[in-house]
Structure 1
Amino acid sequence: MDLSLAAHLFPYSVWDCWWLAPLALLLDLWLGDPRLPWPHPVCFAGRLLSRLEGPARRGMSHGGPAGEKWRGRLAGLACLLLLVGASGLTARLLLAPPVLGLVAAVYLAWAGLAMGSLLKAGGEVLREVETRPEAQARKAVSRLVSRETGSMDRPQLRKTLADTLSENFTDALLAPLFWLLLAGPVGLWVYKAMSTADSMWGYLTPRWRWLGWAGARGDDCLAFVPARLSVAALRLTDALVRRLRPAARLWDGRWPGLALVARQAAGMPSPNSGWSMTACAWLCRARMAGPSVYFGALTDKPWLGPPEGEAAPWDRARLLALCALMRYSAVCGGLFLWLACLALRMLL
């Protein structure tokens, strides 16, 4: 596929529009999600997927339990293809008009990044964890995580908040930005549709094990490269801050080396979630992951980061340092990825 055809199918990518991705990154980190009279585009994807659940379950159960696994996987795959196709086609149609398409491109690119809103939500939840009674603090953390928080004390709540913030560095920023650069808002919203399917259906529970299989595997594929780039962004940020502005380095950990990060991340159930978590755990000198309860079942995840004897507890200051590390990494990593794509465009 030559660049002219790619630009026609996926307009406003870095191949034909150099300014859109950095503008979207700036708007996201500065303002968070766009607040407009209509719902966020992710809401439309979620509603469509919810409407598809009933027909998918009827297709999965038709014929008895013998072939439920494969019927469920096929039904989930059909729903996923419909969701992804509808999202990509809608984005492409919105980009078609000459002037309104430009406005739509800015809106879709901005709305597809979520680092600003993630850090804002994390800060609000952290305030509740530090100031509210434990019951209210558990409820606040439960708004951000799928694991059960009902029996957690404050140290566990802080660690859980650190887990979800660092894990979502890929999903909220690096992966959508990666696909925005390569394939414009159309590619970005194809990825967001896949990510929405994974977040809604991609659980290893009896209810979702088969219907959510396609969404989980698809999200694993589309986030595979961005998850590993997230480690590069965090490492680059740590090196730059350490060299250029040592006083601004709020985190107090050390870089363990890529081999150790890869080895610890490989122990996680997901092929992608452990990469940014492991890097953040080492740089913040505190442990992440470990055994967690999801939907009433204990999941035996490995511990990420330094050994227990070398790790510090998660407290308010360390969580704020994690947020600063992620914000700096969003800027450094995002701009580095953008510049790399521009250089590649010049070579092509």
Structure 2
Amino acid sequence: MPWLTIPLLAAALDLWLKDPPNWPHPVRLIGWLLDRLERLVRSSPLPPRLAGLLCVLGLALGVGFAVRLIVSLPMVGWFPALYLSYAGLALGGLLQEGRRVARLLREQDVEAARTALAGLVSRDVEHLDENGIRRALAETVSENLNDAFTAPFFYLAFLGPAGLWAYKTVSTMDSMWGYKTPRWRELGWAAARADDLLAFVPARLTALALTTTARLLGRPAVRLSELRRTASLTESPNAGWPMAAAALALRAGMGGPTSYFGQIKAKPWLGPEGEPWTDQKLNELLRLALLAGLGICATLVLATVLVMQTL
């Protein structure tokens, strides 16, 4: 199978099949390895930051090397290459769950919408009203367009399935270890910094795709200076870019006081303060995320072709 068809087929399978329940998924294996690796390194004499750095390098390179061996198998290597590429993408599942929350809100089933939203976000949802649910959904859809699709597809397009899963390993480590809590501040430091570095370009590409697609659909243009300034308000060097792009393009605010694990966090306000997310704007965002994702897919495959022709 030609190498160029793998990313395209993987993206198509992701949008078609989503993430079927009860299917084996490589991320679960990585999570299992991380649980055991944590117990091992916490009993070691190494300083936590050094131990965390060695874990990031060792596991990411180890997973990438293992995937490289599997997809290089003669005759049959294309099949695990396609499956592993598809399994590393999650735009289809993100849009499916986002549409479900939006539909429940339209049906005024707020309690069911809260329950569905809880599977997408880490914040506390028990006391969110309809506006709070809409805003939380808008934030997670825009941010995870990068985390669930652009960044993994970026590494798939340029480095193949091995590169995708090396990145996914770092991303999974960040989601499990990258907290600024006493337990994780030192051990998870390297995972958080590595994820920031690897997502730097994809996050900005996602923001550009969102604003460009919105402009093509008739929305007012978003100035790059305004996008950069708004994105810089967030704690993360990357998460603010797609969130700011969606907030500015659709003229609806994100952020504000948010409850995590019973503690209120004062998040910066992105976009026009006081402008709520309506059902119509949520539907626009979900459509925008799909079209931007397709544009990202086409752009990265074309860029890969150009790079290969120059080598």
TM-score under structure 1 length normalisation: 0.83
Which residue among 114, 119, 127 is the counterpart of 2:95?
Answer: 119
The within-5 A match list for 1:284-323 is 284-308=250-274, 311=275, 313-323=276-286
Give the match for residue 24 of structure 1. Answer: 10
Give the match for residue 160 of structure 1. Answer: 136
Give the match for residue 48 of structure 1. Answer: 33
Structure with bigger gyration radius:
1
Please list the CA deviations of residues 242-261 of structure 1 after superposition, one character each: whole Å capped at 9, or x if unmatched: 4xxxxxxxxxx523211111
Aligned AA (1:203): Y
Contact 1:227 1:272 in 2 (8 A): yes
In the TM superposition, what is the alpha-carbon distance from 1:127 to its structure 2 partner? 3.2
In the TM superposition, what is the alpha-carbon distance from 1:203 to its structure 2 partner? 1.3
Query: What is the distance in 1 between the residues matched to 2:210 and 2:232?
Result: 18
In the TM superposition, what is the alpha-carbon distance from 1:121 to its structure 2 partner? 1.5
Please list the CA deviations of residues 125-148 of structure 1 after superposition, one character each: whole Å capped at 9, or x if unmatched: 333445475444333222211112
Answer yes or no: is 1:190 the counterpart of 2:166: yes
Query: What is the distance in 2 between the residues matched to 1:331 and 1:303?
Result: 29
Give the match for residue 101 of structure 1. Answer: 77
3-state SS in 1 of match to 2:148: helix
Gaps in structure 1 of 5+ consecutive residues: 1-11, 63-69, 243-252
Gaps in structure 2 of 5+ consecutive residues: none
**Pairwise CA RMSD of aligned residues?**
2.1
Give the match for residue 234 of structure 2. Answer: 268
Please list the CA deviations of residues 96-148 of structure 1 after superposition, one character each: whole Å capped at 9, or x if unmatched: 21222111111111111110111112122333445475444333222211112
The within-5 A match list for 1:214-253 is 214-242=190-218, 253=219
Change (3 A) 1:90 1:129: farther
Query: What is the distance in 2 between the residues matched to 1:220 and 1:88?
Result: 19
Change (3 A) 1:153 1:36: closer
3-state SS in 2 of match to 1:109: helix
TM-score under structure 2 length normalisation: 0.92
The within-5 A match list for 1:1-80 is 17-33=3-19, 35=20, 38-59=23-44, 71-80=47-56
Please list the CA deviations of residues 13-35 of structure 1 after superposition, one character each: whole Å capped at 9, or x if unmatched: xxx822222221222122223x4
Please list the CA deviations of residues 154-175 of structure 1 after superposition, one character each: whole Å capped at 9, or x if unmatched: 2101111111110111111110
Contact 2:222 2:248 in 1 (8 A): yes
In the TM superposition, what is the alpha-carbon distance from 1:81 to its structure 2 partner? 2.6
Aligned residue pairs total 311
Please list the CA deviations of residues 169-227 of structure 1 after superposition, one character each: whole Å capped at 9, or x if unmatched: 11111101110111100000000001101111111122222222111111000000001
In the TM superposition, what is the alpha-carbon distance from 1:347 to its structure 2 partner? 2.6
Seq. identity, %: 45
Contact 1:88 1:186 in 2 (8 A): yes
